[in-house]
């Protein structure tokens, strides 16, 4: 299995949804970075369920840092983070062991691991694993903030309700960091109503998230195979719910003329900037100092209580399935901090490759 991401700053995730614990190991991070436990806890809180539009599975996420941190600073050696699983109900899954839940990894995992995989709660494919990514990302994000690099994500669209796009980005990122329900406009009640309607119908909804990264210096990234777009996409597609991504104006550029899509340049306050940002802060796979902007699609939660068609992949028979257990009717809110955390790990890795391992440590 390939569970490690990154070339200079690397993160490895481990664990299963109903196993003893999940966790992450960060290797290659500079020494001397302040590890803010309150910030890590606050990031994990953003990911945890809070209301009727979230799963009822409550985990405390009381993490432990086993190595790589001494007297509140990173040592430069591997950082191991462990988060216990405490609130599991494995019996919900034993009765459907041989049934492939639609749009889950049950059947594909069975084919790859020959039935030895831990199927409970989705095992290693569960969204539960993203808690470890959030904890690891929080350490890195704090270091990025010290360099003036900020990352923010909001719900751009959910269940047909649209939010405003980023415009006054820095202020909006600061405001979003303080919100439990990350939207720019005041549309929480409208989205919540739509999600609850789907839940009442034993169904679920998806959405689109918009992310902005500001403060990135120009010249970061590699052309062709390790472009900024490809590295971020690679990381985000490791989150099972993400099914699509576009940078800048993305697919809408198909309907533009070149004169409309081109980002014309100018000198402003002594800096080279572009008048528009249709390319999302990236040219030739390399940052141009403009905000990195992208949208990603979060699919509807596949675990729904409606009866669906499926197969018994052991007996090779057609069957019906009704999924029981505790599931989110929408995961867009909880996914925002996961996307931000994955981006932090990506950006840290690319910066270390460009400027050296000690860059985030301030050396």
Q: In this predicted model, what pLDDT tens digit does every residue of 116-133 receive, in sequence order?
A: 998 887 889 988 999 999
Query: What is the pLDDT confidence band of residue 97, given thresholds at 50, 70 and 90?
Result: confident
Is 83 in contact with 61 (CB distance < 8 Å)?
yes
Whole-number Å distance between alpha carbons of 207 and 201: 18
CA 207 to chain centre: 14
Q: Give the alpha-carbon dihedral of 270, 271, 274, 279, to 10 degrees.
A: 180
Whole-number Å distance between alpha carbons of 49 and 331: 9
Closest listed residue to residue 256, CA positions, set 248, 268, 244: 248
Residue the block writes with tokens 């599931």? 327
Per-residue tokens: 286: 């390399």
**3-class SS of residue 89:** coil
**3-class SS of residue 246:** strand
177 has a pLDDT exceeding 70: yes
Query: What is the pLDDT confidence band of residue 49, given thresholds at 50, 70 and 90?
Result: confident
DSSP string, 125-186: GSGGGHHHHHHHHHHHHHHHHHTT-EEEEEEEEETTEEPPPPSSHHHHHHHHTT-SS--SSS
Average pLDDT across the chain, whole number: 93
Q: Report phi then psi at 218, rounded to 5.
A: -70, 150
Is 243 in contact with 299 (CB distance < 8 Å)?
yes
Confidence at residue 169, expressed as pLDDT on a 0 to 100 scale: 98
Predicted TM-score (pTM) above 0.75: yes
Confidence at residue 113, expressed as pLDDT on a 0 to 100 scale: 92
Mean predicted confidence (pLDDT) in 143-160: 97
Query: Which residue ranges form the domains of the chain, and what is each CATH number?
Result: 4-357 (3.60.150.10)
153 or 240, greater pLDDT: 153
- Specify the pairing of strand 21-27 against strand 10-15: antiparallel
Whole-number Å distance between alpha carbons of 330 and 182: 14
Helix, strand, coil: what percent of the chain each, to 5? 35, 25, 45
Query: What is the pLDDT confidence band of residue 95, given thresholds at 50, 70 and 90?
Result: confident
49 or 331, greater pLDDT: 331
362 has a pLDDT exceeding 80: no
The interaxial angle of helices 130-146 and 332-355, nearest 10 deg, is 50
Mean predicted confidence (pLDDT) in 289-308: 95
Counting every residue written for the chain, the total comes to 363
Confidence at residue 197, expressed as pLDDT on a 0 to 100 scale: 95
Confidence at residue 121, expressed as pLDDT on a 0 to 100 scale: 79
pLDDT digits (tens, 9 = 90+) for 269-284: 999 999 999 999 999 9
Beta bridge mates, 25: 12, 80
89 has a pLDDT exceeding 70: no
Query: Which run of H or of E encompasses 243?
Result: strand 242-247
Confidence at residue 90, expressed as pLDDT on a 0 to 100 scale: 64
Mean predicted confidence (pLDDT) in 337-351: 98
Query: How many CB atoms neighbour CB 8 within 10 A?
Result: 17
Residue the block writes with tokens 């400027």? 355
1 has a pLDDT exceeding 60: no
Confidence at residue 60, expressed as pLDDT on a 0 to 100 scale: 84
Whole-number Å distance between alpha carbons of 154 and 161: 13
Confidence at residue 24, expressed as pLDDT on a 0 to 100 scale: 98
């Amino acid at each position: 299995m390939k569970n490690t991401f990154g070339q200079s700053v690397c993160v490895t995730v481990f664990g299963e949804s109903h196993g003893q614990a999940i966790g992450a190991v960060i290797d290659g991070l500079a020494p001397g970075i302040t590890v803010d436990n309150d910030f890590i806890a606050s990031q994990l809180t953003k990911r945890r369920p809070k209301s009727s539009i979230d799963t009822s599975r409550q985990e405390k996420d009381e993490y432990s840092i086993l190595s790589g941190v001494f007297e509140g600073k990173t040592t430069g050696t591997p950082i191991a983070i462990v988060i216990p699983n405490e609130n599991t109900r494995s019996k919900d899954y034993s009765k459907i062991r041989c049934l492939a839940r639609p749009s889950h990894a049950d059947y594909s995992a069975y084919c790859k691991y020959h039935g030895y995989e831990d199927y409970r709660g989705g095992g290693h494919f569960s969204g539960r694993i993203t808690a470890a990514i959030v904890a690891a990302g929080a350490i890195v994000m704090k270091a990025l903030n010290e360099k003036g690099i900020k990352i923010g994500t909001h719900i751009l669209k959910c269940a047909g309700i649209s939010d405003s796009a980023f415009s006054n980005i820095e202020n909006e990122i600061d405001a979003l960091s303080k919100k439990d329900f990350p939207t720019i406009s005041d549309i929480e009640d409208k989205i919540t109503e739509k999600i609850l309607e789907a839940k009442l119908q034993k169904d679920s909804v998806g959405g689109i998230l918009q992310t902005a990264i500001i403060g990135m210096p120009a010249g970061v990234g590699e052309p062709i195979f390790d472009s900024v777009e490809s590295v971020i996409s690679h990381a985000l597609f490791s989150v099972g719910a993400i099914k699509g991504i576009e940078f800048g104006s993305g697919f809408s550029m198909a309907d533009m003329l070149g004169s409309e899509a081109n980002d014309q340049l100018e000198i402003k306050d002594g800096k080279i900037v572009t008048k528009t940002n249709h390319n999302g802060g990236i040219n030739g796979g390399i940052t141009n100092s403009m905000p990195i902007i992208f949208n990603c699609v979060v699919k509807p939660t596949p675990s729904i209580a409606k009866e669906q068609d499926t197969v018994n992949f052991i007996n090779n028979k057609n069957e019906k399935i009704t999924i029981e257990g505790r599931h989110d009717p929408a995961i867009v809110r909880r996914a925002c901090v996961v996307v931000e955390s994955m981006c932090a790990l990506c950006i840290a890795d690319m910066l270390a490759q460009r400027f050296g391992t000690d860059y985030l440590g301030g050396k």
